[in-house]
Amino acid sequence: MKKSGFILIETITMFLVLISALMLFYVTANDLFIKASEYSNYDDVALVYSAYYIKEALSDFSNIQTNLDSNDFEDSYGFIVGVDSKDFFTDETKIDKFQIISDKLLMHQIFVTNDIRNLKTCSRNIDGDAKCLNTFLTEEMRSYIKTINLNNVISDYYIIVEFKKDSSGNKCSSDECFSYFAWVTLWIN
């Protein structure tokens, strides 16, 4: 009788230890899965290629070089370029061509900057610098910018492209969208 009581207590103890270990594993693994799913929206190979094609379309269909040369970035760390940006697109045919490309690639917006390093600081602390306050970024883009690693890449300008898709992978037309990001350089030194 004493032997079976000891086995029961031993079984309950082992069961509690096993349950505690599994709960600890679940909590740790769940945090890792959440972080991994957030980063899966960043710099996917297909998105980098899409960003590259958008950069090429900008070079071909807009006068972005002229606008960048005249913008001194004194007030902010960057600006958003859209198809409706009349400063960048002066020819109606080129606007239509760029719109077709951006729709096909599911582009939502383009952010152009010349200083990603300071922009990363900006995305951590938006209350400091006046240039940070004048740089209008979504919270999702701020989160993405924190993850950019330049690895000694030197360029005059960088573009960060935000893509938006709905749950079926089509261009987003509702509030239930998923944002994906990629960055490329413009006119490397």
Q: What is the pLDDT along the chain (189 residues), one digit of tens a residue?
A: 456 667 888 888 899 999 999 888 888 877 777 666 655 677 778 888 888 988 888 888 777 777 676 666 777 777 777 766 666 777 778 888 888 888 888 888 888 888 777 777 775 555 566 677 667 777 788 888 888 887 777 787 888 898 888 877 787 766 778 888 888 888 643
**161 vs 47: CA distance, rounded Å:** 9
Smallest CA-to-CA distance from 178 within 160, 166, 162, 161 is with 166
Residue 160 contacts residue 109 (beta carbons within 8 Å)? no
Residue 82 contacts residue 103 (beta carbons within 8 Å)? no
pLDDT at 189: 39
Residue-range domain boundaries for the chain: 1-40, 42-188
Phi, psi (degrees; rounded to nearest 5) at 75: -90, -25
DSSP 171: B
pLDDT at 18: 92
pLDDT at 152: 76
C-alpha torsion sign, points 48, 54, 56, 58: negative
**148 vs 43: CA distance, rounded Å:** 9
